[in-house]
Amino acid sequence: MVKKLGLLTSGGDCPGLNAVIRAVVRRSLTDYGAEVVGILRGWRGLMDGLMQPLNHDAVSGILPRGGTILRTSRTNPFVHERGAERILENVRRAGLEAVIAVGGDDTMGVAYRLYREYGLPVVGVPKTIDNDVVGTDFTFGFDTTVNIAMEAIDRIHTTAESHDRVVVVEVMGRDTGWIALYAGLAGGADMIIVPERPVSVQEVCDLIRHRHDRGKDFSIVVVAEGARLILHDGREVQALQEDEYDEFGHGRRGGIGETLGREIEAETGYETRVTVLGHVQRGGTPSAFDRILGTRFGIAAADFVQQGKFGHMVAIRGDTIVAVDLAQVAGKLKTVTDDYYNLARPFFG
Amino acid sequence: MVKKLGLLTSGGDCPGLNAVIRAVVRRSLTDYGAEVVGILRGWRGLMDGLMQPLNHDAVSGILPRGGTILRTSRTNPFVHERGAERILENVRRAGLEAVIAVGGDDTMGVAYRLYREYGLPVVGVPKTIDNDVVGTDFTFGFDTTVNIAMEAIDRIHTTAESHDRVVVVEVMGRDTGWIALYAGLAGGADMIIVPERPVSVQEVCDLIRHRHDRGKDFSIVVVAEGARLILHDGREVQALQEDEYDEFGHGRRGGIGETLGREIEAETGYETRVTVLGHVQRGGTPSAFDRILGTRFGIAAADFVQQGKFGHMVAIRGDTIVAVDLAQVAGKLKTVTDDYYNLARPFFG
Amino acid sequence: MVKKLGLLTSGGDCPGLNAVIRAVVRRSLTDYGAEVVGILRGWRGLMDGLMQPLNHDAVSGILPRGGTILRTSRTNPFVHERGAERILENVRRAGLEAVIAVGGDDTMGVAYRLYREYGLPVVGVPKTIDNDVVGTDFTFGFDTTVNIAMEAIDRIHTTAESHDRVVVVEVMGRDTGWIALYAGLAGGADMIIVPERPVSVQEVCDLIRHRHDRGKDFSIVVVAEGARLILHDGREVQALQEDEYDEFGHGRRGGIGETLGREIEAETGYETRVTVLGHVQRGGTPSAFDRILGTRFGIAAADFVQQGKFGHMVAIRGDTIVAVDLAQVAGKLKTVTDDYYNLARPFFG
Amino acid sequence: MVKKLGLLTSGGDCPGLNAVIRAVVRRSLTDYGAEVVGILRGWRGLMDGLMQPLNHDAVSGILPRGGTILRTSRTNPFVHERGAERILENVRRAGLEAVIAVGGDDTMGVAYRLYREYGLPVVGVPKTIDNDVVGTDFTFGFDTTVNIAMEAIDRIHTTAESHDRVVVVEVMGRDTGWIALYAGLAGGADMIIVPERPVSVQEVCDLIRHRHDRGKDFSIVVVAEGARLILHDGREVQALQEDEYDEFGHGRRGGIGETLGREIEAETGYETRVTVLGHVQRGGTPSAFDRILGTRFGIAAADFVQQGKFGHMVAIRGDTIVAVDLAQVAGKLKTVTDDYYNLARPFFG
């Protein structure tokens, strides 16, 4: 029976983090009588020994709040001198018998190495608004992001329609197009472009012209920031270079939307506007889906700790919580499949 | 290949109905070249021959709208003179080679009889905000309802806390507690009461007093309208009788919340207020989850028609669309299991 | 120059209270170098000496939050033994040179007596979701409440329309109908009933029938909880007695909506449902209007303190902040005028 | 008594337009028995004779919808051959005794010339999300825009705080800073920059550094798209040239935000992100405030027509509807005054 465990959040802001924290604390205290220590600012805090106890009061009222009460950072202990060693020392010093690490695929990678190479008893909880972690059907944060983007597209619809315009809406998604696909489907986009499949400007313009021929004088195109476009001369372009994404994997500036908008206007002659949703997509109060998924993940992580399922990540498949070996997660991405992309096709044009 | 099909919506209002309609029309027209005829006001419209063609324009712009452009009714053709026969005549007369029926478990029951006893080529699409249809993990409408209830609980939280009060929030759910469970989990309720498991007033009051002892001067109790309470004298009470639910299965008046609030105030002496969320829960613009699930169901229903999967209902299991035999659906209810209910326990008190 | 002042919030929860607190503190600290002491739980806290210093950090991040970080109560010091005297002692002991009291008309009454009879240098800030304080065009909280009620009516609209129903929506408002009037106007109600003018059931039913004759099979009636109805036998009824309102002036239970719904159904034969919005209306994050009005009131109150405008309340007239003598406010109510009520008439029926 | 009147909407999308249309129709039909003819696509439709009758049914259900059922355009009849003459012919041919024109200051200018030079009996209704029309305290659309921007800032807050970042939020406002000022105040911005007063990069950076010294590792700066910055070398820059604004007066691309973000990062070394809210700000369902103001303006415009107050614009001053001579409106802008800007100062830094 684990009587004392640590909990940290790492990586980018993601609605539902506080739900996880609250659930870990409530489950551990109430059902296992185990003490939870909050580690501040991710792996950095574990290297530096920044900790504070988490009791009922500390997690009271945090469920509807965005952000994470434990703060976050993107520190990788393996690039710091004696990073892993300092972590182990602090874990021992604080008397932690296990650590729960909430984060994206980088965090899962660090957790895996600490478990395998250093024997740290660690449980992972996947977290990304991009929904691209392998091994789990969904991650919390994604549903909130999709709803925010959908509401933006709803608003843009009335303006596009009143003004007879093409509007390009650029959403997050460097390597995978889940946000673009879901937000585009929910917002009724006339075309959706994801990083997984390059699209030619020609194809997009044909589709917009086809709509005009049917009497629809406006069109909405949703494009992921990492999407690739094929220009008229056959060149494939991507707006951002690797080093233009920040440490949380999101673009430092908009890009492909601007390019696409310019090409559409040049080719079709229709007035085109570009909206880059940006950081609005990743913060704020979580949706019900994300609060519940975060809560389920938190409960499961607390259970895994007591069951000794270390070296594993909590995940959801269908309706069931499962344990996924961290070895199968690190360094991989879940991309948009044909089946999913084809869901959107009947609504193009 | 089916070249002409009918589509009807039946039963109570449910966010996502227009997403289904739009998807059936777009998929059938675009990918199968099949014509879709909208049948107005559910089975009644099919008995009376109320129909109108549905083309691209008819379904343009309806995705974000609540309600159903086809209207609805709760007519059961089998209690009407020659109901089934009139339906068959109208189907033949209009040249419909198949019918898609969107509705709750009653509608699935009617669809099943028309298929089995009269040979009508029918495909069912499950629809209920209560999420209690067997054979499918989720129905559209549920997520929107849960989000509305959660936002209400969020708002009530600040008032309960400022005023040091117990607030009982009564949500929909005659036979099953899915809305109460999910909204309660997402809203951070201190106690959740579902129809599947009677709870004693004593237990609720103990829990509220325990919170006060911990310094929490407010509590929020979420209760489904169909929940049963065990009073001090051991009697089990339910607020509403069978005939107090309307034809859509929701209470004509609030009830159990009022009873519970009175008992809590009498027993604990704490000021207690009751809020009955009522019809606010079932209308309005759908959430992203419900727009996408409705869209997936609509596409699948159009596919089932072309594949000849009649007598079946579209359903989602995990991440996959499946066909469920209508025989397995009619007359059954998916109730809250222990596993689900136990998710909420660590947060009680 | 006042160097140290106290600040308290009193009465019911009201979106925008934290905006006032933040503005008083920022303005006083930044522009006057004056220290602000937060008094907990309204007048009770001033009687009992419950205080805590408020600096920049204390008010950081509170703007979007509902409730009040100072908590509240409904204590009237004049019904407590030596209440006023204890207040004066605590003010002296804490070195407060002025007190800002944020509250409803009762609070303004207490503030006025403390100022006039005991010489306490006090500035009032009006606060009520009901918008019925005389001397000011608007109070903060009202706009948020109206938006919440409007969104509920929007949602109810799709259900009422899909189900061909009459829906009665009961909103807050014991003595005045501002919430009913504004929410009804914004939500597109087909009839609005306010406490200021009794309406006969006959009139309401005629109007609903008239709509049906025009082909509108649904109607939405918005009624304030304190509204009076004239029955067929000429009797005028009100649902709640004086003692059925709680100490914050809002009904302990719904009432007039239920009566009205029953009468409409009996008289017209149309299916009628009743929704009592209840406590959902008064909490949660404030609208932009209320955050800005709260901020303006807070800045003005801090200015009044420095200008020595004691015995006055901040108020807004048109676009201008003005000082209103507390003597003109206490014990009065701003009721719905004919001019305002007539705005709604063209939309009835 | 005017028995038949025309109604047109002109210029950019603006939440509340449908509220005006509905109110003009209901008031005219119900209280004056006057017929309302809808003119499609603004002045262009009046030149081309595009009209359709507007009855009760036509305006039923439009109140919560964004956009305008009459569509819009930005056509100025005075730059078209015989534009004014064709308008007069169409007005005569359709038997219109008056025209209500809803639009921005350009539209008010056209209306004024048609009234003065051609004797067209016209009433103006001001419309702009920028709130910069002189003669009226508020225009509808503004409150919705401010709420959208505020919600975006709320969401950005949790991310900025979790990531220790400076975030620059660029909002609409070419010539005036009302949106920036109100959204910044409501969203709790740490600095607000409006077109009316150039600010030096130095000042912004000092303020951000000052926050860091106080332990606040994140800052949010709200900037209007038309704002001017003073660089280190004393040059004053504006991002967009005159011809980079579209015909609705809003920037074709973001600009000044990008410049400001770059300068802040270079100067302070703090990680800085830029979000351009863009077209999301101007569409979608209107807030309660805008629905009510639009309704009041529509009723007043219908009244003005019957009272023969031609050559005037409806306006609101304080709580009262007034008639403003169009001669006093055309070609002017209401800018942010010192009094208003100073409201925000206590919250800077």
DSSP string, A172-241: --SS--HHHHHHHHHHT-SEEE-TTS-EEHHHHHHHHHHHHHTT---EEEEEETT-EEE-TTS-EEES--
Q: How many CB atoms lie within 10 A of CB A232?
A: 12
DSSP, collapsed to helix, strand or coil, labels residue A275 as strand
Structure tokens at A207: 């589709």
DSSP 8-state secondary structure symbol assigned to residue D229:
E
Averaged pLDDT for residues D6-14: 93
Choose, from C130, C143, C290, C303, the residue flagged as catalytic. C130
| Alpha carbon of A339: minimum distance to chain D alpha carbons (Å) | 31
**Residue B255: per-residue pLDDT:** 73
Q: How many CB atoms lie within 10 A of CB C33?
A: 9
Q: How confident is the model at residue D237 (pLDDT cuts 50, 70, 90)?
A: confident
Sequence-distant (≥ 6) Cβ neighbours of residue A170 within 8 angstroms: A223, A224, A225, A254, A255, A256, A257, A274, A275, A276, A277
- Please give the share of chain A, as a percent, with pLDDT higher than 70: 96
Q: Of C31, C60, C187, which is closest to D346 when you measure between CB atoms?
A: C31
**Does residue D248 have a pLDDT over 90?**
no
**Does residue C246 have a pLDDT over 70?**
no
Q: How confident is the model at residue A187 (pLDDT cuts 50, 70, 90)?
A: very high
Which residues of A fall within a CB distance of 8 Å from D275?
A: 276, 278-280
Touching C (3+ Cβ pairs <8 A), the chains are B, D
Size (chain B), residues: 349
- Please give the share of chain C, as a percent, with pLDDT higher than 70: 96
A185–B292 CB contact, under 8 Å? yes
Q: How confident is the model at residue A142 (pLDDT cuts 50, 70, 90)?
A: very high
A64–B154 CB contact, under 8 Å? yes
| Alpha carbon of A13: minimum distance to chain D alpha carbons (Å) | 6
Active site residues of D: 130
Q: How confident is the model at residue B249 (pLDDT cuts 50, 70, 90)?
A: low
Q: Dihedral of CA A55/A57/A60/A61: which sign?
A: negative
Q: Which long-range contacts (CB under 8 A, 24 or more apart) does D231-238 make?
A: D231/D200, D231/D201, D231/D263, D232/D201, D232/D202, D236/D198
**Residue B248: per-residue pLDDT:** 60
Place of tokens 């290297």: A47
Bridge partners of C219, per DSSP, are C166
B12–C163 CB contact, under 8 Å? yes
Lowest mean per-residue pLDDT among A306-310, B274-278, B322-326, D26-30: B274-278
Q: Of D68, D252, D258, which is closest to A162 when you measure between CB atoms?
A: D68
What are chain A's domains?
4-140+286-328 (3.40.50.450), 144-282 (3.40.50.460)
**Does residue A252 have a pLDDT over 70?**
no
Q: How confident is the model at residue D158 (pLDDT cuts 50, 70, 90)?
A: confident
Which residues of A fall within a CB distance of 8 Å from D276?
A: 254, 275-276, 278
Which residues of B fall within a CB distance of 8 Å from A295?
A: 185, 343, 347
Tell me the per-residue pLDDT of C252-267, one tens digit each, with 9 for 90 and over. 556 799 899 999 999 9
**Residue A238: per-residue pLDDT:** 79
**Residue C252: per-residue pLDDT:** 59
Tell me the per-residue pLDDT of D30-82, one tens digit each, with 9 for 90 and over. 999 999 999 999 999 999 999 999 999 999 999 999 999 999 888 899 999 99
D167–A253 CB contact, under 8 Å? no
Place of tokens 């009234």: D115
Which of A156, A154, A128 shows the shortest CA–CA distance to A142?
A128
Choose, from A130, A132, A190, A303, the residue flagged as catalytic. A130
Interface with B, mutate which of C146, C154, C162, C218 (most B CBs under 10 A)? C162
Average pLDDT, chain D: 93
C288–D183 CB contact, under 8 Å? yes
Helix (H) or strand (E) holding A316: strand A312-317
Measure the CA–CA gap between C17 and C35, rounded to whole angstroms. 19
Return the number of CB contacts < 8 Å for A and D.
Answer: 116
B31–A317 CB contact, under 8 Å? no
φ, ψ (nearest 5 deg) of residue A41 = 60, 40
Q: Of B23, B185, B285, which is closest to A292 when you measure between CB atoms?
A: B185
D346–C288 CB contact, under 8 Å? no
DSSP 8-state secondary structure symbol assigned to residue D279:
G
In A, what residues contact D, Cβ < 8 A? 12-13, 65-68, 71-72, 148, 151-152, 154-163, 167, 246, 248, 252-254, 258, 271, 273-280, 282-284
DSSP, collapsed to helix, strand or coil, labels residue A99 as strand
Q: How many CB atoms lie within 10 A of CB B329?
A: 23
Helix (H) or strand (E) holding C299: helix C288-307
Which residues of C fall within a CB distance of 8 Å from B255?
A: none
**Residue B247: per-residue pLDDT:** 61
ipTM exceeding cut-off 0.85 for this assembly: yes
Touching B (3+ Cβ pairs <8 A), the chains are A, C
Lowest mean per-residue pLDDT among A153-162, B136-145, D23-32: A153-162
Averaged pLDDT for residues B53-67: 94
D277–A282 CB contact, under 8 Å? no
**Residue C167: per-residue pLDDT:** 96
Distances in Å between the alpha carbon of D298 and those of A157, C187, C343, D19, D21? 25, 16, 10, 7, 7
Helix, strand, coil fractions of chain D, as percent rounded to 5: 45, 20, 35
**Residue D278: per-residue pLDDT:** 86
**Residue B179: per-residue pLDDT:** 98
Q: How far from chain centre, in Å, is Cα D187?
A: 19
DSSP, collapsed to helix, strand or coil, labels residue D274 as strand
Tell me the per-residue pLDDT of C3-39, one tens digit each, with 9 for 90 and over. 999 999 998 889 999 999 999 999 999 999 999 999 9
C155–B148 CB contact, under 8 Å? yes
**Residue C319: per-residue pLDDT:** 86
Average pLDDT, chain C: 93
Residue of A nearest to B148 (CA): A288
Q: How far from chain centre, in Å, is Cα B263?
A: 30
D274–A253 CB contact, under 8 Å? yes
**Residue A148: per-residue pLDDT:** 97
Which residues of A fall within a CB distance of 8 Å from D12?
A: 159, 162-163
| The amino acid at B203 | E
**Residue B349: per-residue pLDDT:** 85
Averaged pLDDT for residues C231-241: 81
Which of B124, B125, B42, B53 shows the shortest CA–CA distance to B83?
B42
Measure the CA–CA gap between D301 and D322, rounded to whole angstroms. 10
**Does residue B242 have a pLDDT over 70?**
no
B159–C273 CB contact, under 8 Å? no
Q: Of C27, C63, C215, which is closest to D346 when you measure between CB atoms?
A: C27
Measure the CA–CA gap between D51 and D332, rounded to whole angstroms. 31
Which residues of C fall within a CB distance of 8 Å from B66?
A: 155, 157-159
Touching A (3+ Cβ pairs <8 A), the chains are B, D
Which residues of D fall within a CB distance of 8 Å from C63?
A: 186-188
Tell me the per-residue pLDDT of D85-142, one tens digit each, with 9 for 90 and over. 999 999 999 999 999 999 998 899 999 999 999 999 999 999 999 999 999 999 999 9
**Residue B217: per-residue pLDDT:** 87
| Alpha carbon of A47: minimum distance to chain B alpha carbons (Å) | 31
Which residues of A fall within a CB distance of 8 Å from B295?
A: 185, 343
D67–A156 CB contact, under 8 Å? no
A291–B183 CB contact, under 8 Å? no
**Does residue A248 have a pLDDT over 80?**
no
**Does residue B251 have a pLDDT over 70?**
no
| Alpha carbon of A288: minimum distance to chain B alpha carbons (Å) | 5
| Alpha carbon of B146: minimum distance to chain A alpha carbons (Å) | 7
Averaged pLDDT for residues B168-193: 96
**Residue C236: per-residue pLDDT:** 87
Return the number of CB contacts < 8 Å for A and B.
Answer: 93
Which of C187, C201, C181 shows the shortest CA–CA distance to C257?
C201
| Residue C154: half-sphere exposure toward Cβ, Cα within 13 Å | 22
DSSP 8-state secondary structure symbol assigned to residue A50:
-
Measure the CA–CA gap between A109 and A43, rounded to whole angstroms. 12
Q: Of D12, D160, D280, which is closest to A152 when you measure between CB atoms?
A: D280
**Does residue D245 have a pLDDT over 80?**
no
| Alpha carbon of D66: minimum distance to chain A alpha carbons (Å) | 6
**Residue D246: per-residue pLDDT:** 66
| The amino acid at A239 | A
| Residue C136: half-sphere exposure toward Cβ, Cα within 13 Å | 30
Give the CA diameter of chain C.
71
The b/e string for D20-55 (b: 16+ C-beta within 10 A; e otherwise) is bbbbbbbbbbbebebbbbbbbbbbbbbbeebbeebe
DSSP 8-state secondary structure symbol assigned to residue D195:
T
Averaged pLDDT for residues C95-124: 96
Burial of D145 (0-12, 13-18, 19+ CB in 10 A): buried
Structure tokens at A85: 């060693």
| Residue D5: half-sphere exposure toward Cβ, Cα within 13 Å | 31
**Does residue C248 have a pLDDT over 70?**
no
D279–A154 CB contact, under 8 Å? no
**Does residue A267 have a pLDDT over 70?**
yes
Which residues of A fall within a CB distance of 8 Å from B161?
A: 61
φ, ψ (nearest 5 deg) of residue C323 = -100, 130
Measure the CA–CA gap between B245 and A202, rounded to whole angstroms. 57
Give the CA diameter of chain B.
71
Helix axes D142-163, C288-307, angle to 10 degrees: 80
Tell me the per-residue pLDDT of C48-87, one tens digit each, with 9 for 90 and over. 999 999 999 999 999 999 999 999 888 899 999 999 999 9
**Residue B250: per-residue pLDDT:** 60
Structure tokens at A38: 């909050």
Query: H/E/C letters for each residue in chain B?
Result: CCCEEEEEECCCCCCCHHHHHHHHHHHHHHHHCCEEEEECCHHHHHHHCCEEEECCHHHCCCCCCCCCCCCCCCCCHHHCCCHHHHHHHHHHHCCCCEEEEEECHHHHHHHHHHHHHHCCCEEEEECCCCCCCCCCCCCCCHHHHHHHHHHHHHHHHHHHHHHCCEEEEEECCCCCCHHHHHHHHHHCCCEEECCCCCEEHHHHHHHHHHHHHCCCCCEEEEEECCCEEECCCCCEEECCCHHHECCCCCECCCCHHHHHHHHHHHHHCCCEEEEECHHHHHCCCCCHHHHHHHHHHHHHHHHHHHHCCCCEEEEEECCEEEEEEHHHCCCCCCCCCHHHHHHHHHHCC
B343–A27 CB contact, under 8 Å? no
Q: How confident is the model at residue D234 (pLDDT cuts 50, 70, 90)?
A: confident
Tell me the per-residue pLDDT of B80-137, one tens digit each, with 9 for 90 and over. 999 999 999 999 999 999 999 999 988 999 999 999 999 999 999 999 999 999 999 9
In C, what residues contact B, Cβ < 8 A? 12-13, 65-68, 71-72, 148, 151-152, 154-163, 167, 246, 248, 252-254, 258, 271, 273-280, 282-284
Which residues of C fall within a CB distance of 8 Å from B155?
A: 66, 148, 279-280, 282-284
D214–C289 CB contact, under 8 Å? no
Structure tokens at B83: 């109901």
Residue of B nearest to A158 (CA): B61
Structure tokens at A130: 């991009």
Bridge partners of B278, per DSSP, are none
Active site residues of B: 130
